[in-house]
Amino acid sequence: MRANQVFERVIGLFTGSQKDRNPLAFEAPDTRANAGDTGSTPGIRRLLQRLIERDDSTVMAGCVEILGLSGLRDRYGDRWEAVAGQASLIVHGVLEQYLDAGDVYRQVGEAEFQICFETSDQTAADAIALQLVRVIAERVAVELLDVQPSLGVQSFVAPVPFAKANGSDDPMASLHSSLLDIRNAVDARAIRRHSIPALRNAGALFQPLWCSRESGGTKNRCMLDTFAGVAAAKHLEEIERLDDLIEAVANLDCVVFTKSVEGLHNALGNVSRATIVIPLHFQTLATQHQDFLDLAATLPLQYRRFVILDLIGVPTAATPAEIDDVVQTARGITDCIVLQLPPSDNRFNDRIRSQVWGVSISLNEMESDSTGVAHELTRFAASASEVGLFSLVYGVNTIGKAAMVVGAGFDCVGGSAVHSTVPMPRPPSRFAPLFGDPAARVDGLESKAGLRAHPRFAPLNPNAILTRPDGQKYACRLPNVSVSGAVVLCTADVAVGDYLALGSIAAQVVRMAERGFAVRFLEVQRASVLEMALQSRKVEVQLLNNLKKLNA
């Protein structure tokens, strides 16, 4: 479509009978006053004619927007319509007063106004837009005194190609859409240019997690230092558009991932086998953020077994299929995945459960140490154990919460009441947390009889074969078993944390005694086939070796 055809379409938008005109389309008052005999709009005619004479291929477009208006809707209820209407009238009045005679403007939505400037000079158009912002803000402060602290005003100006309106039934709307695309691109570049370099200069700290005997050694959760964390949180709070927020969060994930790998690299040089838990926002992988995926692809293969990705911020609207897709993407980065989702969530199907190592929960927003909260946490940890998943809890910032989550049965506990942050990841070892180590220290096969969640019974055939990761086999006896574990009488040389197989069932040693030890099955078994599996000779030795390497 040629430029003059576009002009005709735009002219048609602002001409014709009154009933066909957009009630939210306006011009500067001088041009409306000159509207004469033909019912046409001299203002838009002059604007388009000037563009034709200059042989311009672009329209200098802009927008002025009141920020925060939609956020007042819930607070003001029925009064919101009046507040929004008054704000709109303020903007209309300022535009009519300060725009040049040849400029045209149009309201878009509740709080945004599109402008087509007669001038082709962007510097001049920017100056006009800034003046509009200043005057609108002054009038809002006077006429909307009660809500003024919640409101802001912003503007944006850019040349928009005529071609963007080609073939559109509403060229003005197409030009506005193109202007928004330009603004979004500029904002995205600004986010990367201004916020991320500052964060990259920040240091990383590591929060050691206290782990129970059953879950192995120390895990270190990566955190940005306090100053950078506050700066990042403030930056995210100021972003209003969802796409910008997702982009900023993904950039933050890039920084945290980089700092985590740096810490891991340094630790591997001096500390034996440190493990890092890296928090990663669900939407970063859901949107396939390319910068993060490119960064994650650089993780050395030999580091994968020391990295645990903790997928946080799972949207309530995410479907099981979407969650599964994100988990699969995460498993392309590392083998050990934690999902911040209650095991009782109905989206947590068998496929997802089989792909993750554990589930996590954060207490940062919880202020109560009440019995009701303790009950919910106990149910969370118990439901994770029942399906063979490790449970992790963060944000334990009081002694009361520490005692509560340990009593609830969580496998890994982290927070300021457990251990202060450190500049270097800790190696896998047991340490006494700040609130004292609650782990039982009594030995014997039955010292923790109450910990196994499922009923025990004596198998019909107590004899079985134990297989170690190196392929060596030992005869053993099983005085009692359940669908989640067993007591083993055997002379095999094993230690707490070792992986082995009883029959065809993969298991881990959780405690020792004089004549044997106890194991937990890595997956809860079906009662109907448990004894058959214990007598099976089919063993995946490679699986045992992989588990040994992952937790070495």
Average pLDDT, whole number, for the chain? Answer: 75
What is the side-by-side strand order in the sheet with 112-116? 25-27, 104-108, 112-116, 58-67, 152-161
Distances (CA, A) of 252 to 131, 197, 283, 291, 331: 35, 11, 12, 11, 20
**pLDDT level of residue 186 (50, 70, 90 thresholds):** low
- 224, 227, 233, 234: CA torsion to nearest 10: -160
pLDDT at 366: 63
Element of type H or E holding 545: helix 541-550
Cα–chain-centroid distance for residue 362? Answer: 14
Question: Any bridge partners for residue 319, and if so which?
Answer: none
The pLDDT tens digits of the residues spanning 188-209 come to 555 444 444 445 556 678 989 9
State the pTM of this model. Answer: 0.48
- Going by C-beta distance under 8 Å and a sequence separation of 6 or more, which residues neighbour residue 400? 369
Residue whose pair of structure tokens reads 């005619």 in the numeric block: 45
The predicted structure's pLDDT at residue 215: 52
Name the residue with higher pLDDT: 148 or 490: 490
Q: How far, in Å, CA of 182 to CA of 532, rounded?
A: 65
Helix (H, G, I), strand (E, B) or coil at 476: strand
DSSP state of 457: B
- Can you tell me the distance from the alpha carbon of 318 to that of 373, in angstroms, rounded to the nearest whole number? 25
Tokens of 35: 């509207």
Q: Please give the helix or strand (H or E) that residue 46 lies within, else none.
A: helix 42-54
Question: Span 442-461, mean pLDDT?
Answer: 56
Give the model's pLDDT for residue 38: 24
Is residue 113 pLDDT above 70, yes or no? Answer: yes
Q: Which domains does the chain have, with CATH numbers?
A: 3-187 (3.30.70.270), 202-413 (3.20.20.450), 449-550 (2.40.10.220)
Q: How many residues does the chain have?
A: 552
| CA 538 to centroid of chain Cα atoms | 41
DSSP state of 8: H
Q: Does residue 21 have a pLDDT over 60?
A: no
CA-based nearest residue to 433, from 406, 453, 472: 406
Q: What is the pLDDT of residue 202?
A: 61
Q: DSSP readout, 414-427? A: -STTT---BSSPPP
Q: What is the pLDDT of residues 364-423, one digit of tens each?
A: 766 555 667 888 888 898 888 877 788 999 988 888 888 888 888 888 899 888 888 888
519 pLDDT above the threshold of 50: yes
Biggest alpha carbon distance in the chain? 108
Among 438, 451, 518, 453, CA closest to 484 = 453
Tokens representing 208 are 């050691």
CA distance 255 to 234: 16
The pLDDT of residue 115 is 85
Residue 146 reports pLDDT greater than 90: no
Q: Report the share of the chain in percent with pLDDT over 90.
A: 9
In angstroms, rounded to a whole number, what is the distance separating the alpha carbons of residues 224 and 201?
A: 11
